[in-house]
């Protein structure tokens, strides 16, 4: 009963809410009703076993708790799964899971009679479509008839009405055949048909009908899961030997679990099909002995692997601070869309920039402190001392964090850069345990409390609003005691007035004993008395905590940003009226032998009827390693979401390295399109 409820209802929720539902609601209610149940049973115990989970991990499913639960739900649900998967982790697993193989004749491998003498195995990927592409329903129809799996990805909050019969599995039987109405015609339905749905939306709002027809699953990555993935990347770079050893142990453990399950199943099958006296069945006895030896051998290897795994995990933990900072930064970047709907950054790009930051950590400027001595040619690098390891980890954190910060900042409006830097600073302090929650909440909300009438000494220069904020601030007494602030201001009114009327009060010390106050509590007083200086005060605070580079606005430089572009990551310009990026793009193109005059840079201004021209430019550029410059791309939002996005995703490392797309869009129109 718990397992069925788990599969049906729990998939859309986060891990804490899932655990709360199961442990504090469902099981507790069953115990109160005195329903018979096994003590300590968990839904996953009934839905999957160790061997199944090992197989899923081998196919690419992450090993964190949420992902394993999602795998159990997906493989047991009877409704079509709809995955909330902005980071595409579930999509990757489903695609690997549904790769099929088939035997095809080798060209020319025939005998004199024309018979095929040799076959080769060819892999076939599952069909993936989007609702926005032309005639996508034809692919759905073909998969229904052939009993194949298909994924409809990048869904919005509405599903095409033509798919309603498919979603509802409205199948009718005629004799031995099954039929399903799709659009204006009926198609034969193969029971092997599988439909997967996926959306990149972080928080979609689906109608009740969709929730009833599909099994919602939250595949959004968790902090713990991302930390483990980033830790693996850091260790692969810094200690490749540890990464290889851990990957081998994981693979071996998965294979061991699968083998033990297979032995158990084979043993049960042999016992159930044995005829007569078991002791007279020599083949069965020999099989039992072989299973016993194999099982003992596997368990011995697992014990050795467990010890080795602990040693590797201990060594890897040294690099966890780098992964912690990376995960913290990603979840901040992932929430920037709250400031503007166009601030959406793919996890794949984040990972690329995170790795780039680690590579930057290997480059030391001439004369830079802590630069390691080069290893003589032909000699092995010596293990780092604890001090060297600590310095290396701090450098990795600094370089990877700032590389991602700089990459994201170049795509933000100027007014949002300080917000981004401040939020990063506060989250870092919060993670260290150096940020008091009450004080931070006051900084954000600045509540007002008119407990005391403003005194005669203050009313001449202090407003009622500022005094109300100071009265509210005095309620905070830990870790900084502000209770005496109103009385001190009254007694030292002249000195506080002089401080408040300074052009830059954030640079000056506070009057009296308050001048010893740390920087963060000082922000609260500035928030009460000089709200107009909060921007500068925040910038100064971030500068002292993280460094000047986090508050220094660097003008956009196309030449500096261009190396981050590749075949899958176009250069996207968001333009204000009157600015034309074509001359700058042409100037950089000369460094690569690319030009419009030479025919190696395609240029088109998009609009009605220009999509075929743009498609030809993209195909030619991707084939020959050229550039494509598609202007006014905001006018063809549908074409961009269907053809262009799919085309960029389909490109692999085999594309010529010079191939680049440049996509200018007008600011106002593009922002409106994002909001829609």
Asked if 18 contacts 10 with a C-beta cutoff of 8 angstroms, the reply is yes
- Strand partners of residue 177: 174
In contact, 372 and 382? CB cutoff 8 Å: no
Most confident range (mean pLDDT) of 20-24, 246-250, 419-423 is: 419-423
Q: Please say whether the beta carbons of 372 and 388 come within 8 A.
A: yes
Cβ 70 vs Cβ 217: under 8 Å: yes
B/e letters for 561-578, b = 16+ CB within 10 Å, e = fewer, are ebeebbbbebbebbbeee
How would you class 252 by CB atoms within 10 Å of its CB: exposed for 0-12, middle for 13-18, buried for 19 or more?
middle
User: Hey, what CATH class is 82-107+117-220 in?
Assistant: alpha beta
Residue whose C-alpha is closest to residue 359's, from 399, 397, 319, 406: 399
Confidence band for 673, pLDDT divided at 50, 70 and 90: very low
More confident call, 484 vs 269: 484
**pLDDT-derived band of residue 374, with 50, 70 and 90 as boundaries?**
low
Q: Which residue has the tokens 């990972």?
A: 351
pLDDT in tens, 32-42: 888 888 777 78
Residue 279's pLDDT is: 67
- For 383-410, what is the mean pLDDT? 90
For 604, which DSSP code? E
- The backbone torsions φ and ψ at residue 630, rounded to the nearest 5 degrees and listed phi first, read -105, 105
Strand 80-84 with 194-199, pairing: parallel
Mean pLDDT of 152-169: 89
Given a contact cutoff of 8 angstroms between Cβ atoms, the answer to whether 66 and 201 are in contact is no
pLDDT of residue 676: 28
Q: How far is CA 204 from each of CA 176, 210, 446, 637, rounded to the nearest angstrom?
A: 40, 12, 32, 20
Give residue 528's pLDDT band: very low, low, confident or very high (50, 70, 90): very high
Mean pLDDT of 342-355: 87
pLDDT band at 358 (very low <50, low <70, confident <90, very high): very high
Are the C-beta atoms of residues 499 and 462 closer than 8 Å to each other? no
3-state percent helix, strand, coil for the chain, nearest multiple of 5: 55, 10, 30
pLDDT band at 675 (very low <50, low <70, confident <90, very high): very low
Q: State the DSSP code for 428.
A: H
* Strand ranges across the sheet with 171-174: 171-174, 177-182, 185-188
For range 20-29, the mean pLDDT: 88
Structure tokens at 293: 């030896």
For the chain, what is the radius of gyration of the CA atoms? Answer: 31
Q: pLDDT grade, residue 662 (50/70/90)?
A: low
Tokens of 544: 């002292």
Partners of 124 in the β-ladder = 100
Share of the chain above pLDDT 90, in %: 28
Quickly state the pLDDT bin for 270 (edges 50, 70, 90). confident
pLDDT at residue 513 above 60? yes
| Whole-number average pLDDT of the chain | 84
**What is the per-residue pLDDT for 428?**
95
Both tokens of 227, joined, read 């930390």
Query: Residue 216's beta-bridge partner residues?
Result: 82
Is the pLDDT confidence value at 399 over 50? Answer: yes
* Residue 655 scores a pLDDT above 60: no
Q: Dump pLDDT digits (tens) for 96-106.
A: 999 887 777 77
- Residue 603: exposure state from Cβ atoms within 10 A (0-12, 13-18, ≥19): middle
Whether the pLDDT of residue 659 is over 50: the answer is no
Task: Quote the pLDDT of residue 377.
Answer: 61
Three-state SS at 668: helix
Give 433's DSSP letter: T
Mean pLDDT is lowest, of 147-161, 271-285, 497-511, 525-539, for 271-285
Quick check: 232 pLDDT over 90? no
pLDDT given for residue 660 in this prediction: 54
Given the DSSP bridges, would you call strands 185-188 and 177-182 parallel, antiparallel or unpaired? antiparallel
Q: List the Cα angle 647/652/657 in 5-degree steps.
A: 100
Whether the per-residue pLDDT at 81 is higher than 50: the answer is yes
Of 71, 87, 98, nearest to 215 by C-alpha is 71
pLDDT band of 661, cuts 50, 70, 90 = low
Greater confidence (394 vs 369) lies with: 394
* Cβ neighbours of residue 510 closer than 8 Å, sequence gap 6 or more: 499, 517, 522, 525
DSSP per residue, 259-272: HHHHHHHHHHHHHH
Q: How far apart are CA 194 and CA 214, in angstroms?
A: 13
Pairing of strands 627-631, 127-130: unpaired
Annotate 514-542 with DSSP letters as a single string: GGG--HHHHHHHHHHH-GGGHHHHHHHHH
CA distance 603 to 616: 11
245 CB-side CA count, 13 A: 16
Decide if pLDDT at 461 tops 80. Answer: yes
pLDDT per position as a tens digit, 552-587: 887 777 888 888 877 777 888 887 777 788 888 888
SS3 assignment, position 379: coil
Whether 82-107+117-220 shares its CATH topology with 558-675 is answered yes
For residue 162, give the 3-state DSSP assignment: helix
* Mean pLDDT on 81-90: 90
What's the fold here for domain 558-675?
Rossmann fold (3.40.50)
**CB neighbours (10 Å) of residue 611?**
18
Ranges of each domain in the chain: 1-77, 82-107+117-220, 431-550, 558-675
Residue 452 pLDDT more than 70?
A: no
Largest CA distance in the chain: 113
Residue 669 pLDDT > 80 = no
pTM, rounded to two decimals: 0.78
The whole-angstrom separation of Cα 117 and Cα 109 is 5
Pairing of strands 571-575, 185-188: unpaired
Q: CA 200 to CA 83: how far, in whole Å?
A: 9
pLDDT of residue 599: 87
pLDDT at position 144 over 90: yes
């Amino acid at each position: 009963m718990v397992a069925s409820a788990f599969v049906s209802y729990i998939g859309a929720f986060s891990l804490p809410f899932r655990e709360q539902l199961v442990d504090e609601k469902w099981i507790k209610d069953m115990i109160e009703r005195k329903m018979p149940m096994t003590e300590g049973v968990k839904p996953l115990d009934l839905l999957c076993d160790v061997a199944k989970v090992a197989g899923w991990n081998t196919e690419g499913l992450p090993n964190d708790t949420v992902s394993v639960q999602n795998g159990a739900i997906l493989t047991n649900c009877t409704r079509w799964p709809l995955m909330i998967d902005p980071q595409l982790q579930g999509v990757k697993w489903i695609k690997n899971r549904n790769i099929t193989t088939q035997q095809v004749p080798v060209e020319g491998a025939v005998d004199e009679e024309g018979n095929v003498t040799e076959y080769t195995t060819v892999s076939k990927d599952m069909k993936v479509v989007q609702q926005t592409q032309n005639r996508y329903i034809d692919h759905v129809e073909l998969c229904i008839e052939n009993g194949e799996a298909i994924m409809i990805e990048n869904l919005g909050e509405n599903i095409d009405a033509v798919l309603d019969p498919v979603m509802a599995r409205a199948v009718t039987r005629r004799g031995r055949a099954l039929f399903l109405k799709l659009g204006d015609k009926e198609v034969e339905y193969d029971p092997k048909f599988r439909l997967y749905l996926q959306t990149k939306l972080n928080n979609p709002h689906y109608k009740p009908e969709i929730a009833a027809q599909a099994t919602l699953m939250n595949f959004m990555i968790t902090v713990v899961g991302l930390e483990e993935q980033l830790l693996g990347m850091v260790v692969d770079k810094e200690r490749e030997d540890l990464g290889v050893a851990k990957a081998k142990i994981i693979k071996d453990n998965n294979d061991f679990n699968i083998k033990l399950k297979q032995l158990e199943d084979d043993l049960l099958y042999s016992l159930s099909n044995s005829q007569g006296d078991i002791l007279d069945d020599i083949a069965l006895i020999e099989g039992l002995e072989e299973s016993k030896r194999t099982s003992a051998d596997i368990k011995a290897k697992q014990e050795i692997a467990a010890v080795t795994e602990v040693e590797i995990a201990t060594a890897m933990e040294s690099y966890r601070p780098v992964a912690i900072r990376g995960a913290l930064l990603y979840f901040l970047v992932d929430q920037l869309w709250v400031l503007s709907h166009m601030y959406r950054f793919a996890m794949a790009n984040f990972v690329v920039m995170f790795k780039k930051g680690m590579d930057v950590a290997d480059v030391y400027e001439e004369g830079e402190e802590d630069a390691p001595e080069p290893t003589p040619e032909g000699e092995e690098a010596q293990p780092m001392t604890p001090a060297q390891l600590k310095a290396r980890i701090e450098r990795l954190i600094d370089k990877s964090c700032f590389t991602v910060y700089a990459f994201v900042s170049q795509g933000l409006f100027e007014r949002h850069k300080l917000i981004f830097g401040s939020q990063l600073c506060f989250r870092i302090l919060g993670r260290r345990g150096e940020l008091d929650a009450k004080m931070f909440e006051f900084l954000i909300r600045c509540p007002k409390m008119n407990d005391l009438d403003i005194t005669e000494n203050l009313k001449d220069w202090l407003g009622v609003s500022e005094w109300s904020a100071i009265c509210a601030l005095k309620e905070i007494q830990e870790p900084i005691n502000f209770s005496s602030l109103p009385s001190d201001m009254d007694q030292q009114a002249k000195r506080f007035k002089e401080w408040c009327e300074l052009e830059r009060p954030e640079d000056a010390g506070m009057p009296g004993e308050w001048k010893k106050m740390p920087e963060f509590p000082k922000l609260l007083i500035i928030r009460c008395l000089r709200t107009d200086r909060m921007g500068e005060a925040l910038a100064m605070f971030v500068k002292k905590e993280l460094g000047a580079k986090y508050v220094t606005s660097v003008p956009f430089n196309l030449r500096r940003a261009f190396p981050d572009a590749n075949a899958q990551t176009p250069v996207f310009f968001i333009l204000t009226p009157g600015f034309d990026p074509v001359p700058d793009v042409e100037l950089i193109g000369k460094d690569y032998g690319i030009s419009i005059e030479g025919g190696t840079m395609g240029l088109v201004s998009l609009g009605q009827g220009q999509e075929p021209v743009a498609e030809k430019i993209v195909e030619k550029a991707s084939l020959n390693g050229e550039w494509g410059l598609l202007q006014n791309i905001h006018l063809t939002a549908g074409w961009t979401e269907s053809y262009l996005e799919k085309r960029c995703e389909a490109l692999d490392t085999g594309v010529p390295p010079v191939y680049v797309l440049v996509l200018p869009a007008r600011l106002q129109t593009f922002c409106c399109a994002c909001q829609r």
